Every structure is written in structure tokens, then in C-alpha cells.
Chains A and B, each alone.
Chain A
């Protein structure tokens, strides 16, 4: 059974058995079946589009839908409300398509084979309105640049000169696809694509606000995301686990998958939190902010819905009511922080327990040893007698007798003989050592439900928590389903089941937003522009899709592949559209009166992460790291003071700055600490986004401070010097060879004659490290081809 159809299958099961089995069951994973006795699942409702048995249907078809009444039937023409168009071509090759698609001419006069290209360039396109002209194809990048683009887009890193040469030497027509597969399988892939998602869910390692406390365990969520991308976790599962992964885990996790199911719910815990609010009796405000942030981030990240716009009133443009914001918020009404949740596997936990029991028993025996030394004093026995007893003799701990022993332990200790004191001292030291050996189970920072403390969620007048109005029940956007969501409390009752209900509705092939939103994000990251230019806003005030048939085709491809992100990416990057040379921005379509589809690669400056990683990589300094706690760069006190809380370090070591050892500093940027109030200056200069709200798209500014940073920052010049030193050892005084080597390392090509001469002349006066710095600063280095 294909994964995407699981929820449909589930619906049948629900209907027949009154039971629900989740998609993971069919993926060969442990089955956990939260009971759901409702006969009508959300999937049913979305599919049937018919109001049945007293429930109200989608506003698209049901005149009684309150959204239809609220906005007087307007706003329902929003494109993204419509089901994903199943009439776009599937991933099947053209020849198997319906005859409706006429042959279309490609650049070389042949027919476009790839569905993406057919959709974009097909002339005339059967899928576009007749007034819309297809896009103009551009020619393909040369293969050297293409491989660089593939590397940077799929792994975030640059290829080596040798890898490019190998590729160029390959005559096998499948060479490119082989590279695509190799890159998708590389661990660096997940490290790069995790960043996409971490931006969208505003990942941070700290609380924000005054104290901006370090969240020691937040990285476990980051590592989960990396693993999810690397293992190509189906996207519907990926979302479901983040919202409700805890529903799959009874007690301690039994295997790595269950462990990830728990860690995924770290998503719920990522938002900023004002930990100082309680000091000023503002917990209410802090709680409301947590819930509204969770609501708005979930809606923006997973659905492209701007629920932030209806926190205070009905949405200004979209078919979303004020109450819709709070209905959505109610799915999270029982959530509580859980910062001490053990995520150890069952088996590891047993190991830890038996290890700790062993250590504990050693501690106990030492304690009784000490007690024995000290105890006889009370019975006025001579210390010498005690000292003669074999020190290892087992002796049960003796209960202190308050009446005869008013002396403190220390007083008694003072009375011992020197030998005995040495024995006791040694035992005490050993106890301390043993206590260090006790293993703590690993914990994660998550959210869990407290079913006994569900916030009553009320519509807040003007979004102001001082002005609560009517209470609402959990529900999806009323435009599609105005009824209260059917929520079932799972057996065991550790959760309310609300988040699970939400997850099921979101991670569904029938949800009109979910698949479209993620395929648009993937397209954006591969082309520099989304098919929908506003990736977090699929509403009326957002940009309409510049090519909806293509967007829907990709959404359908994703769903049909079992929500495989890698399959989607492979599908896109093997199109001609992906291989095209970048095109300059065209401000206005030039053919007057026509409405031409735009499909272009914009020229993208590398992100802050890519740029830093690339500098380290080409200089041979990039270190491999597979996850783990964040790396803290060494920063001057002058910079650290940006948040004065850093000066006020505390015992739990959450407010200060804790630089990692020098040897760990050159890891990929993904692993650098990401505090909310103290940004890494170099990264910030290169447009690292604000991490308190969802970032749909990286900006690339062009400002002088960036040039100063890449030209003068000590870590850059150190890396350049390092590289130059190594090349100098290798090539001695052979200037031409050194120039060649530098170009190969940094620009991944040979210098041309002019450049070679120019650089050799330059090196008559200047050092090789300076030349390395120059090449690192070139546009050729900084832009994705």
C-alpha cells in the first residue's frame, strides 16, 4: 500500500471497525493505535465535500457554511482552496500520457520529455489558459557549472576540482543522474536541507527575551530534522511526528524510530519564551504568546496560512475568521513544557539502570564503611581497636542514634586516628568519583499534553488576553470544515488527542495546502524563487502561483511518491528547467499584453551558512561532525555584551557564553549555536534571518559590511593563510603551479591565460595568502552558478 493513501485507507478502517491505524503501521513500523470511535474522520469530510447528518460542509459547496455568510460568499475563489488538480500530468513519461498532450518542441527541436519541461515550455500548453504564454527555455549550464549547482543545491557544499573533472570525463549519459543520487545519499544533504526546515520553524538554541537561556537539549530536534531528510522520511510522517509523535510512544521508546517520534515533538517547544514573565505576574501574557506563536508558526510553516492576521479580527483578505485562529489554537490548549523527558531507548535505560545500581551499591558499601569507622566512637570504643579491623569487612549501615550521638559526623571524624581518617577520606573521595560515574538518561526539550489542565481557549477581543470572549473548541479553518474537529482521547489518557487530530488533517493528501506548500519551498530552494513568491502565504494577499499546473503537478508527484522529498528533488533537478542558465530579473514582462509564465533561475548569492562552509571547505579546514550539542564560537567580550544577560552567568550554565574548544570550531554552520538575542556577527552580516518568527525565504543583501567581513575577518584570513601555507609546501617556488592550485581549490577551475599572467605578476609583490583571499572574495566564488 502506498503511503499517501493511508489516510484514505484509515478512513475505511475507521468506518468499519471504529478503529484508526496510522500510516506508520503500513510503513512496517510499530503499530500504535490510538482509538478513534468517530465514524467520520476528517479525511472523509474533506473528500466528501457534502454536508451530512447535521454537519456543515465546505464553504465551496455548502451555503450554510459560516464563512460564506461572514464574507457574503466572497473570497471563495482563492486558488489554494481548490483541491490539487489531478489533471496535471503525473510523473509518468509523456508517451503514457493521455493523448491530450500534443508533442511539444524542445530546444533542440525534439519533444520535451520531462513533465516539468512540458508544463513550462510546451507550446501550446494544454494546461495553461489560452491567454498565457509558456515560458521561454534558456540554454543549459555547462557541465562544470551544473555539477557545482547540484552540489550546492543538494548538499550546500562545493564539489572538488577532481570531482568536477571526473564528471566531465564521464561519457555515460546517466552520469548526471548518478551524481544526483550520490548527492542525495550523502550525509551532507540532510545537513543542508535541514536548514530549510529550521528556518521555517524558527529553530533556536535559546529562549529569547531578557535572559535568553540556552536550551541545552534543543539540538536533538535539529538532529532529528537532519536524520529525517537523510532517511527521506515521508513528508506526511515528518509533519505528523512533529505535531503528535508522542502518540506513538508508550513509556520509554523501544527503538530509534520511536525515539525520533518523541524528538520530533521538539517542534512544539521551539518558540520563544519569556521566562522572566512570572517575576512580573505576566505568566498569562507569556502563555498566550506561546500558544499564538505555535498556532501561527504551524499554520505558516505547514499550510501557508496567515493565521497571525486573524488573531485580532477577521482576516482582512482571506476566508478566515477571527474564531478560526482560536479554533486552531485550541489544538494546543493542553500543551505543557516537558524538559526532562527521558528519550533513552528501553534497552539503554535498562543498561543505565543496572550500571547505576552497580555504582550505587559500591557507594553504599563505602558509606557503610565510613559509618562503621565513625559509629563505634559513640560506644566509647578505642579508635585503635577499630583501625585493626579489616577495612573491607562488610557491615550494614547503622542507623544513627540521636540520643547517644549528639556529636556531628565531623566532630567524630576529628577524633579518629590518623589511619582511620585516611581510610575515611579515601572512601569519601571514591564516593565522589563514583557519583560522577552515575549515568543520567538523555533528556529532550519537548511539549506534552496535560489532559487535566486544558486551557479554555476563548476568542480574544483584539487579540488582547485581558479581553476574553466566547470559548471555542478545536477546529480546522471553517472555510473547509466549520464543525468542531472530532478529537478522541487515546487509551492511557496521557494526551488529549487534539494534536493528533490536527496532524491527521494536515498530513493528508486531501489537504489543499500541505503538499503545495512544501513543493513550493523545495522549488524555491532549487531556483531561488518560488512558484508562489510568498511561501508562507497561500492566501489572497499572497502572490498567486505563477504556474499552478506545475505546482499541482509537483504536489501530485510528491504525494504519489509516498511523500518522498528526495524523489521530488530528483524529479525537479533532472528537468531541463533546472539545468538552465540563470537569467537576470525581468521587472516587467516585455511582450505587451501577454502573460508569460516565468521560469528562471535567479542568480543566488550563497547563504551565510554556505559561504562560511565553502570558505572552510576550499581551505581544507571544514570538519565533519555528525550532530550533537551546538558549537559555540569564541567571541570577544565586546560582542557578547550585546545581551548583558551573558554577563550574569548562572549555576545551571544557561545564561553565559561557553566557547567550544578551538579544535571544534570549524564545523558546518548548521551546528553553530543559535541564540535569539546574541547573533553570530559574521553570520548576521550575511543575512542570517531572525529566528523568532518563521522565515519563508532567505534574503541576500549586498552591503559594504559584507565585503568588510569577508575581506577582513580573522577566521577568513587565517583559513586563506592556512591554504597558502600548504600549497607553498607542495609547490615550493613554482608560482604558476601555485596559481593553478589556488584556482582549482577555490574557483574549481583552471585560470585562463590572462588570469594566470595577472596573478603571477601580482605574486611578484604579494603573498599567496593574499591571492587566496582575493579569490575567496570573487563573485564567482560567492554565487551559485
Chain B
């Protein structure tokens, strides 16, 4: 009696059931049978989050027309001070050395951010940096960022961000994943889960760092989303991906070895017809082969002309400037090739912008190390027409108190701080929200991270309420399950 596998068998029938499975991968593959799996036009058939588990990076249709295709998220680790960069508070000059005005102190004490006062002295400290107005928008920027100051008309500032924790890791987790607890999925994972990527030869979600963010890998993790959406770390010099190239003694024979591998795999597959997992894994070896050249190519920053290196500050002799600048340049090269989400961390050492002591000595060099890279990135994206489709976000887990801590330092401040965005359909030259007169707490349009996330997703054409993933009985969203998020009003074009 023959086995009763009646409903399964010939490959074509199975494909009939899943016509779009694995389609589109045919081009360039050595595998003969591969072409049988291709079905043209599949990509258009899939919408946000409708992921083919075997082709997780295939590009998917957004919910509505997008203004941004890619995101570059510049993460300043450790909490740069808003009152020393973009949130100009002349009142601090007068109040320098004085206690916090009682009305402001009271307002903070009555808020959920009361603990921001913990560890500070009740004494205000003026900014050690001068401020000037720049551009048509008349935006105040401190002397810390002279290069970026030249591009303020391209930026949109949100001065009233708030985090739910005043501690690095929880606040940082919240900015990345929407939750102060670890274990949730990061923005880059959500977006690549939603939309896939535009370049199948490169990973869709890339992170670039020297040292990572405080709280480590849980920040940029895929969390509960399928593991295909974990990020790939790129280097800005040398082979750009870990284990990208064969070990020396295995290098020359790589193509021959891959051909042998695929031929053994195909024989095995022919004895196990119908298992798309087998085909998918066969395909990953060809993809990996293509990724080797695609990644090496994108990593060849030296191909860029000298003026571009200069624009980003990649010619700087200070290694930390050079390192950050090269990351910014790499980010541009990645989005140019269709990579969906690039996360760049500014963390050249173990402290970042965490200036509990000596703010001046902490912030001044850090601003120098990053200013040319950030400014160069905006300028370069703009001159290539890429800024229109690339959303750039500059943010940190929180800002810093106007009160002094330690020796001329400042404490963390989750109650009110500044982030900015540029490109990707964000209206330039805008200022949204405000902190109180000393820059301590957001008083005008306080904005939680979930609204920032909602804004970013909307720019990408994603309905943030519909970008969800069911886990343990709950439709998780980066904007939270409560449904209270909304895009920041007035900044999306």
C-alpha cells in the first residue's frame, strides 16, 4: 500500500498553493531548479508585515504613499545636553548659581519625572557655550556645532521629548523599542519587518558603532520579531561584515566549493521534494556570495572622491572624528543602495555624552568628533537628492538637567530634551514644543517616544496601529498597545 501522502507531492502543486513563495530570487542563481520557483510580480502582492518567512527581506508595499524610503538614525549615546546645544535658555545666564525657581521645581515634583532632581544640586548652571542664531529659520545653536549650524534650515527640532526613565538602559530601550524593559523589538527591526528592504544583496537593517549603546544589544535587537530582522553590524573599515570572507586557506576555492555544496544540496533536495526550507537555505548561500561583493563594494569608502571625505570630516587627523565621519559616509552609501534602516551610534568610548562631571570637557570634544560627520551627511544626502527619501533622526535617550551635578556636570534629564529630524518628508526649519524657561521640563506639547515612532512610521507609509505582531496573546506595536500614540502634529508634509 503506497504511503498516503495524497495531497502532496509534485512541486508544481505546492507552488500552486504558494505561488509567491521564494519568487523573484531566480535571477543570478546558479541553481537550475530555482527558476521554477520564480513567479514574476510577487513583490507587489505583499503589504506591510506580510512576510514570507523564506524571503524575509523582500520589499513590501507600504500602507499608503511614503515620503521616506530609508532611515538613518544617529544615536548620541549617553544624553547630550539640550541646554548646551539646541535649546537656548538665556534665563540660565541670569539664574546661574541660583536655585531652581520654585514654580518650576513644584511642577517637576508633581510630575512623573520628579526623580530627575535626584542626585543634582539645587543650583542652576549656565551653559559654558555661546549661542547664535542661524539660517532663515533663525535657529539658535550653540558654538558646539558650527558645521551643523549651517544646515538648520533643513532640520526640524522637537524640543519637548520625554522618556519614562531617567536611567540610560531603560530610557534607551524605550527610544529603540518603545518599552523601558528589554526584550522588545527595535525600530529598525519593526521597519524591516514591515517593509523588507530594497536591496536583496545587502541586509536591510544595519548598525554601525565603535562601542554600542548603554544597555547593549537589547537596544537594537529583533526582540520577539522573527530573527531574520536582527540587525547586521557593519564596520567602517576593513571587511565590513564579520565572517564576510572565507578564511585564507579556503578563499581561492570558494566558488568551486560552493558549486559542490549546491550540487550536494540539490541532490538532497530532489530526494526531499516540496520542502521550501531546503530551497531557501540553498538560496542563502548564493545570497551570501553576492553579499560578499555587495558588502565589500559598499565598504570601499576610499572610492569616494577626496572632497566627499572632506565634506564628512573623514580626512580629519583625530581618529574619533574620522571614525564617526566614516560611519556617516557608510550610512549614505548603504541607503543609496536601498538599505532600509541604518543605525549609527556615536560611542567612541565607554562614557558617551554622559557628563555627570565637567560638562565642558565632555561635550566639547564629542561635538567636535561628530559635527562634521552629521553636517556632511545632511549636505551630501541633499546634494544627491537622497534627503527627500531618507529620514535622518538625531536623538539620545535623554538630555541633561540645567542644574549642576558633581563638578560642573549635569544629571540625566528625561523630563524635557531635544531631538531633530531631517528629510524624508519632514518639514524643515520647524521647531516643535518647548521646555520651561530653564530647559528642565517639557511644558509645551510634551512628546513621548511613541509619538516620535509614530511620526517615523507614518513617513515610511506605515500605519503604526497596523504594524503589529501577535505575541503571547497581545498585538505588540512599537507605539504601544494602548493606542495613544499619534504622529507629531504639523511636521509631516
- Counting CB contacts under 8 A, is A336 at the interface? no
Tell me the smallest distance from the CB of B121 to a CB of chain A, in Å: 15
Which chain B residues numbered 252 to 304 have a C-beta less than 8 Å away from chain A?
253, 256-257, 260-261, 263-265, 267-269, 272, 274-278, 280-285, 287-288, 291-292
**In the bound complex, do residue B3 and residue A779 qualify as a contact, i.e. CB atoms below 8 Å apart?**
no
| Cα distance, A771 to B247, chains bound together (Å) | 14
Tell me the smallest distance from the CB of A331 to a CB of chain B, in Å: 20
Which chain B residues numbered 302 to 320 have a C-beta less than 8 Å away from chain A?
none
- Counting CB contacts under 8 A, is B17 at the interface? yes
- Counting CB contacts under 8 A, is A317 at the interface? yes
**In the bound complex, do residue B260 and residue A536 qualify as a contact, i.e. CB atoms below 8 Å apart?**
no
**In the bound complex, do residue A701 and residue B169 qualify as a contact, i.e. CB atoms below 8 Å apart?**
no
Minimal Cβ-Cβ distance residue in B for A608: B227
Binds B, one of A358-366, A439-447, A545-553, A754-762: A754-762
Indicate whether A681 sits within 8 Å of B242 (C-beta atoms), given known contacts A208-B182, A276-B169: yes
Indicate whether A711 sits within 8 Å of B246 (C-beta atoms), given known contacts A280-B118, A280-B119, A705-B203: yes
Binds A, one of B31-39, B151-159, B468-476: B468-476
Contact-size category for B: 35 or more
Tell me the smallest distance from the CB of A594 to a CB of chain B, in Å: 11
**In the bound complex, do residue B473 and residue A539 qualify as a contact, i.e. CB atoms below 8 Å apart?**
yes
**In the bound complex, do residue B218 and residue A208 qualify as a contact, i.e. CB atoms below 8 Å apart?**
yes
**In the bound complex, do residue B291 and residue A708 qualify as a contact, i.e. CB atoms below 8 Å apart?**
yes
B41-54 to A contact mask, C-beta < 8 Å, 1/0: 00000000000011
* Residues from chain B with Cβ under 8 Å of A780 in the complex: 264-265, 268
**In the bound complex, do residue B349 and residue A778 qualify as a contact, i.e. CB atoms below 8 Å apart?**
no
Indicate whether A707 sits within 8 Å of B7 (C-beta atoms), given known contacts A308-B474, A701-B227, A712-B244: no
B1-13 to A contact mask, C-beta < 8 Å, 1/0: 1011111100000
**In the bound complex, do residue A758 and residue B166 qualify as a contact, i.e. CB atoms below 8 Å apart?**
no
| Cα distance, A536 to B224, chains bound together (Å) | 13
**In the bound complex, do residue B167 and residue A279 qualify as a contact, i.e. CB atoms below 8 Å apart?**
yes
Which chain A residues numbered 695 to 727 have a C-beta less than 8 Å away from chain B?
696, 699-709, 711-714, 717, 721
| Cα distance, A699 to B277, chains bound together (Å) | 13
**In the bound complex, do residue B288 and residue A647 qualify as a contact, i.e. CB atoms below 8 Å apart?**
no
Which chain B residues numbered 193 to 229 have a C-beta less than 8 Å away from chain A?
203, 209-218, 221-224, 226-228
Indicate whether A136 sits within 8 Å of B7 (C-beta atoms), given known contacts A210-B167, A300-B472, A542-B473: yes
Minimal Cβ-Cβ distance residue in B for A776: B261
Interface of A is mostly: loop
- Counting CB contacts under 8 A, is A584 at the interface? yes
**In the bound complex, do residue B482 and residue A707 qualify as a contact, i.e. CB atoms below 8 Å apart?**
no
A636-655 to B contact mask, C-beta < 8 Å, 1/0: 00110111110110000000
Minimal Cβ-Cβ distance residue in A for B201: A704
**In the bound complex, do residue A274 and residue B269 qualify as a contact, i.e. CB atoms below 8 Å apart?**
no
| Partner of B216 from A138, A645, A771 at Cβ < 8 Å | A645
Minimal Cβ-Cβ distance residue in B for A769: B249
**In the bound complex, do residue A537 and residue B241 qualify as a contact, i.e. CB atoms below 8 Å apart?**
no
Indicate whether A645 sits within 8 Å of B167 (C-beta atoms), given known contacts A279-B119, A773-B257: no
Tell me the smallest distance from the CB of B444 to a CB of chain A, in Å: 22
| Cα distance, A279 to B288, chains bound together (Å) | 46
**In the bound complex, do residue A641 and residue B210 qualify as a contact, i.e. CB atoms below 8 Å apart?**
yes
| Cα distance, A588 to B223, chains bound together (Å) | 29
**In the bound complex, do residue B243 and residue A713 qualify as a contact, i.e. CB atoms below 8 Å apart?**
yes
**In the bound complex, do residue A588 and residue B17 qualify as a contact, i.e. CB atoms below 8 Å apart?**
yes
**In the bound complex, do residue A584 and residue B167 qualify as a contact, i.e. CB atoms below 8 Å apart?**
no
**In the bound complex, do residue A762 and residue B115 qualify as a contact, i.e. CB atoms below 8 Å apart?**
no
**In the bound complex, do residue B182 and residue A309 qualify as a contact, i.e. CB atoms below 8 Å apart?**
no
* Residues from chain B with Cβ under 8 Å of A678 in the complex: 216-217
Indicate whether A708 sits within 8 Å of B244 (C-beta atoms), given known contacts A692-B181, A779-B278: yes
**In the bound complex, do residue A209 and residue B182 qualify as a contact, i.e. CB atoms below 8 Å apart?**
yes
* Residues from chain A with Cβ under 8 Å of B350 in the complex: 644-645, 647-648
Which chain A residues numbered 140 to 180 have a C-beta less than 8 Å away from chain B?
none
| Cα distance, A587 to B481, chains bound together (Å) | 29
- Counting CB contacts under 8 A, is B245 at the interface? yes
* Residues from chain B with Cβ under 8 Å of A681 in the complex: 242
Which chain B residues numbered 50 to 83 have a C-beta less than 8 Å away from chain A?
53-54, 56-57, 77
Indicate whether A692 sits within 8 Å of B218 (C-beta atoms), given known contacts A138-B3, A587-B17: yes
| Partner of A586 from B17, B165, B351 at Cβ < 8 Å | B17
**In the bound complex, do residue A583 and residue B5 qualify as a contact, i.e. CB atoms below 8 Å apart?**
yes
Minimal Cβ-Cβ distance residue in A for B291: A704
Binds B, one of A281-289, A389-397, A495-503: A281-289
Most chain B CB atoms below 10 A, which of A210, A315, A702, A721: A702
**In the bound complex, do residue B284 and residue A704 qualify as a contact, i.e. CB atoms below 8 Å apart?**
yes
**In the bound complex, do residue A136 and residue B183 qualify as a contact, i.e. CB atoms below 8 Å apart?**
no
Tell me the smallest distance from the CB of A185 to a CB of chain B, in Å: 32
- Counting CB contacts under 8 A, is B352 at the interface? yes
Minimal Cβ-Cβ distance residue in A for B271: A780
**In the bound complex, do residue B230 and residue A767 qualify as a contact, i.e. CB atoms below 8 Å apart?**
no
Tell me the smallest distance from the CB of A135 to a CB of chain B, in Å: 10
Tell me the smallest distance from the CB of A326 to a CB of chain B, in Å: 18
- Counting CB contacts under 8 A, is B347 at the interface? yes
Tell me the smallest distance from the CB of A132 to a CB of chain B, in Å: 16
| Partner of A690 from B212, B224, B244 at Cβ < 8 Å | B224
**In the bound complex, do residue A282 and residue B169 qualify as a contact, i.e. CB atoms below 8 Å apart?**
no
**In the bound complex, do residue B347 and residue A584 qualify as a contact, i.e. CB atoms below 8 Å apart?**
no
A304-348 to B contact mask, C-beta < 8 Å, 1/0: 001011001001111000000000000000000000000000000
Minimal Cβ-Cβ distance residue in A for B352: A644
Q: Which 3 A-B pairs have the closest CB atoms?
A: A677-B216, A643-B216, A306-B473
A-B contact pairs, 26 of them (CB 8 A): A107-B4, A137-B4, A210-B168, A274-B170, A276-B167, A293-B181, A300-B472, A584-B14, A642-B211, A643-B212, A643-B217, A644-B347, A677-B216, A677-B217, A678-B216, A681-B242, A684-B230, A687-B227, A692-B181, A692-B218, A703-B228, A707-B281, A717-B250, A762-B260, A770-B257, A773-B257
By a beta-carbon cutoff of 8 Å, the part of chain A in contact with chain B is: 107-109, 136-139, 208-210, 212, 272, 274, 276-277, 279-282, 285, 289, 293, 300, 306, 308-309, 312, 315-318, 462, 466, 534, 536-537, 539, 541-542, 582-588, 590-591, 603, 605, 638-639, 641-645, 647-648, 676-679, 681, 684, 687, 689-690, 692-694, 696, 699-709, 711-714, 717, 721, 754-755, 758-759, 762, 765-767, 769-771, 773-775, 777-780, 782-783
Known: A585-B276, A643-B217. 18 other contacts (CB 8 A): A136-B4, A139-B5, A210-B215, A318-B473, A603-B278, A605-B277, A642-B209, A642-B211, A690-B182, A690-B222, A690-B223, A704-B284, A707-B288, A712-B243, A714-B247, A717-B250, A762-B260, A765-B256
